[in-house]
Structure 1
Amino acid sequence: MAQDNRDTVISAWRTFAAHDAEQIAAFFTEDAEWLAPEGNATALALDGPSHMIGRKAIARFIADDFPRLFVRDVAVEFHGVYAAGDRVIVEETMSATLANGNAYVNDYCFVFELKDGLIHRVREYMDTARGHRMVFGTAR
């Protein structure tokens, strides 16, 4: 079970890069939730929520909204993917060129909770202050 859930999350992550909303939605339960820190720079820059509910909303964000801010050179370096039961933890560094021309590099930790082989909840953690500096100020 844990290995199947790990494989699902890795496959989902590869699919996110294609920005195809229909393919992305297929990885989530109908009532899936994605929770990021309130006031994070991505949500603020895109005038969107930090808590998305429903696979269509999540898929639309990944397929349509995300590429409006992270416009080029998006790369994800995985540092670890750990699975136990219905949970998969992903540690990664994401880099990209932002719409404002700044370089973006930030570390993330995601906690995926799966139900019946689909992603039911995602909790996202990142350095929100660093993200804010890169999106709205001078990047270091």
Structure 2
Amino acid sequence: MSHNIIQNAFEALASNDPDRIRAVLTEDAEWLSPPGNATAVALDATNHMVGRNAIVHFFAEDFPRLFVRDVTVSFHESHTDGERVTVEATMTATLANGNQYTNDYCFVFEVRDKLIHRAREYVDTARAHRMIFGEVPQQPSPTWP
């Protein structure tokens, strides 16, 4: 049951339709992605969206500015444990810069009242930076005493 909720949610997110997206989220939903991820950097967005309205705005307005065409999410595996669903997927798209985007994701969703309450996203951030910006941001060198 929860797996179908997640599949329907991805269809809504891909639609860029604010009403469809709003319909799959709790009012107090949260979406957490890795800090400094390329999508958030490119769009000057936060990696931790709090509240249905923030998530709807991101997927309806911001997301399509970067991922402009051919957005596809292919599901590989999923596991449901009560109200928690873990999904492995690959997303492909054409980026605004014309580059092809392909990256693997792991999502952990918490479902409440048949709606997404919390999403935690895990992705290869270095790979995304290379596709979006052409390079991986340099990490500061550790300072040794």
TM-score, with normalisation over the residues of structure 1?
0.93
How big is each residue's C-alpha offset from its partner over 1:60-91, in whole Å with a ceiling of 9 and x where there is no partner? 11111111000111111110122110101111
Matched, 1:94 2:94: no
Aligned to 1:53: 50
Query: Identity of aligned pairs, percent?
Result: 61
| Alpha-carbon separation, structure 2, partners of 1:68 and 1:27 | 22
Gaps (5+ residues) in structure 1? Answer: none
Q: Which amino acid aligns with 1:34?
A: W
Structure 1 range deviating more: 46-55 or 69-78: 69-78
Matched, 1:70 2:87: no
Q: Which amino acid aligns with 2:62?
A: D
| Alpha-carbon separation, structure 1, partners of 2:107 and 2:21 | 17
Structure 2 counterpart of 1:85, from 56, 60, 82: 82
| Alpha-carbon separation, structure 2, partners of 1:118 and 1:72 | 27
TM-score, with normalisation over the residues of structure 2?
0.90
Considering only CA atoms, is the larger Rg found in Structure 1 or Structure 2? 2
Aligned to 1:25: 22
Aligned to 2:134: 137
Q: Which amino acid aligns with 2:41?
A: L
Structure 2 SS opposite 1:112: strand
Matches within 5 A, 1:5-24: 5-24=2-21
Structure 1 range deviating more: 82-91 or 33-42: 82-91
CA shift at 1:17, angstroms? 1.7
How big is each residue's C-alpha offset from its partner over 1:18-72, in whole Å with a ceiling of 9 and x where there is no partner? 1111111111111110000000000000000000000111011111111100011
| Alpha-carbon separation, structure 2, partners of 1:112 and 1:53 | 15
How big is each residue's C-alpha offset from its partner over 1:93-134, in whole Å with a ceiling of 9 and x where there is no partner? 111111011111100000000112211100000000000011
| Alpha-carbon separation, structure 1, partners of 2:100 and 2:4 | 30
CA-based RMSD of the aligned residues comes to 1.3
Gaps (5+ residues) in structure 2? Answer: 136-145
| Alpha-carbon separation, structure 1, partners of 2:92 and 2:113 | 32
Aligned to 2:122: 125
Divergent runs of 4+, >3 A:
none
